[in-house]
């Protein structure tokens, strides 16, 4: 299958702390794959995801998305690529004082001309699209509720609806369920899985729990101190591999 995303020799050095966050990362993702990133906190998962849509500026290396080298793009071209890449976050990153609808509509900003969006006017189609996205994540009744009134799982679903507004080809999920309890985690991950399966969206999702990675991932990449230490199907991660990734003292914790 054609490679949807190619990461080549990606390096990120945080100048301030002189930290080597990513150390020569290379991998390819075919279209429609559900790829799970695992690794300890601080192993570089978030940095890697943010280098892909350049929320974080990589130090060197290339990120090729759908044949375009993202690391070379400027301003407008970068924004045009960004709108095709949805992202959801560990802390949901909703505007808490705004309504759910406003949060979801903000996912459409890459498509609306700036002068129109500054007036706060979205087209009828966008409103319809927002309704569909909210219906899909089961939150249509919360449209005009303030975001901070929702529970954690509901907020993350608003985050997913916001990403859906972009009609993304690639979805980056930065530990989408770390702030949620196990039951809610599954409901959120099921929505992501559904988007992957039904819409054919390529998903890069970082997760803390190996059990979740096994359940949802088609392929797992494990990072340790900014380097890839494992790349393969989740079934190949045995106890020995696990200790290699998480360190000698780690124990497996199940989330069902």
Partner 1 sequence: MARKPNRSRSVEPAISAKAIITSFFLDWLFWGYFAYVVVYLLNYYWYTVYVDWYGKLVLPAWAWPVAVGGTFELAALCHALGHSLGVKALGLRWERTGPRVKLLHLLGLNGALLLGAGAFALVYFGACRIHGLPPALGREAAMGLGAVLGLVVVLGAMVFFSRAVPGLVLAPLPSPDKWTAPPPRWYRTLWGLMALGLFLLIMILGWHVTDASLKRLGNMVKTAYLWKALATPDFQHLLHPDPWLNQSILQGLIQSIFMALLATVFGAAFAFPLSFLGARNIMNFNPLARATYYFTRGVFNVFRSVESMLWATIFAIWIGWGPFAGTMALFIHTIAALGKLYSEQVEHIDPGPVEAVTATGASRLEVVRYAVIPQIVPSCLALTFYRWDINVRMSTVIGLVGGGGIGRVLFYYKQNTMWHQVGAVILTIALVVWALDYISGRVREGMV
Among 16, 18, 74, 97, binds partner 1 (CB under 8 A): 97
Residue 81 is a binding residue for partner 1 (CB under 8 A): yes
Task: Indicate which single residue of 166, 185, 196, 206 sits in contact with partner 1 (rule: CB under 8 A).
Answer: 166
Kindly give the residue spans of alpha helices, DSSP state H, lying in the chain.
45-52, 75-82, 100-105, 114-118, 124-136, 152-165, 182-199, 210-216, 239-246
The smaller minimum CB distance to partner 1, of residues 164 and 207, is found at 164
Report CA-CA distances (Å) from 42 to 116, 126, 156, 182: 40, 38, 22, 22
What three-state secondary structure class fits 38? Answer: strand
Among 6, 19, 64, 109, binds partner 1 (CB under 8 A): 109
State how far the Cα of 134 lies from the Cα of 143, in Å rounded to an integer: 8
Distance CA 67, CA 5 (A): 8
Q: Give DSSP secondary structure letters for 128-151.
A: HHHHHHHHHTT-GGGTTSBGGGS-
* Stretch of 7-15, 88-96, 223-231, 235-243 contacting partner 1, by CB under 8 A: 88-96
Within residues 168-187, the interface with partner 1 by CB under 8 A covers 172
Task: Select 32 or 110, whichever has its Cβ closest to partner 1.
Answer: 110
Residue of 34, 65, 89, 191 that binds partner 1 (CB under 8 A): 89
Query: How many binding residues for partner 1 (CB under 8 A)?
Result: 37
Is the torsion defined by CA of 223, 228, 232, 238 positive or negative?
negative
Beta strands across the sheet bearing 68-69: 19-30, 3-14, 60-65, 68-69
- State the minimum distance, in angstroms, from the CB of residue 3 to partner 1: 22
Q: Given the complex with partner 1, which of 23 and 93 has the nearer CB atom?
A: 93
Stretch that binds partner 1, among 34-42, 60-68, 91-99, 222-230 (CB under 8 A): 91-99
Does 15 contact partner 1 by CB under 8 A? no
- Residues in contact with partner 1 by CB under 8 A are 53, 55, 79-87, 89, 91-98, 102, 106-112, 114, 117-118, 120, 159, 162, 165-166, 172
């Amino acid at each position: 299958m054609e490679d949807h995303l190619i990461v080549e020799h990606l390096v990120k050095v945080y100048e301030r702390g002189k930290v080597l966050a990513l150390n020569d990362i290379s991998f390819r993702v075919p279209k429609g794959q559900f790829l799970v990133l695992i690794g300890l906190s601080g192993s570089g998962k978030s940095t890697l995801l943010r280098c892909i849509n350049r929320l974080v500026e990589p130090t060197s290396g290339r990120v090729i998305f759908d044949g375009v080298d993202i690391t070379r793009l400027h301003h407008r071209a970068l924004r045009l690529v960004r709108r095709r890449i949805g992202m959801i976050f560990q802390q949901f990153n909703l505007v808490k004082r705004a309504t759910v609808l406003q949060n979801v509509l903000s996912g459409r900003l890459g498509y609306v001309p700036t002068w129109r969006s500054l007036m706060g006017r979205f087209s009828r189609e966008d409103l319809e699209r927002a309704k569909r996205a909210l219906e899909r994540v089961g939150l249509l009744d919360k449209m005009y509720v303030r975001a901070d009134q929702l529970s954690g799982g509901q907020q993350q679903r608003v985050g997913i609806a916001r990403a859906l507004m972009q009609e993304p080809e690639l979805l980056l999920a930065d530990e989408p369920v770390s702030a949620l309890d196990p039951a809610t985690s599954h409901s959120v991950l099921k929505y992501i899985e559904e988007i992957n399966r039904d819409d054919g969206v390529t998903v890069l999702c970082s997760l803390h729990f190996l059990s979740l990675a096994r359940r949802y991932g088609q392929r797992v990449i494990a990072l340790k101190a900014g380097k890839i230490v494992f790349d393969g199907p989740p079934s190949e991660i045995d106890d020995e591999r696990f200790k290699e990734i998480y360190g000698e003292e780690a124990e497996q914790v199940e989330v069902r």
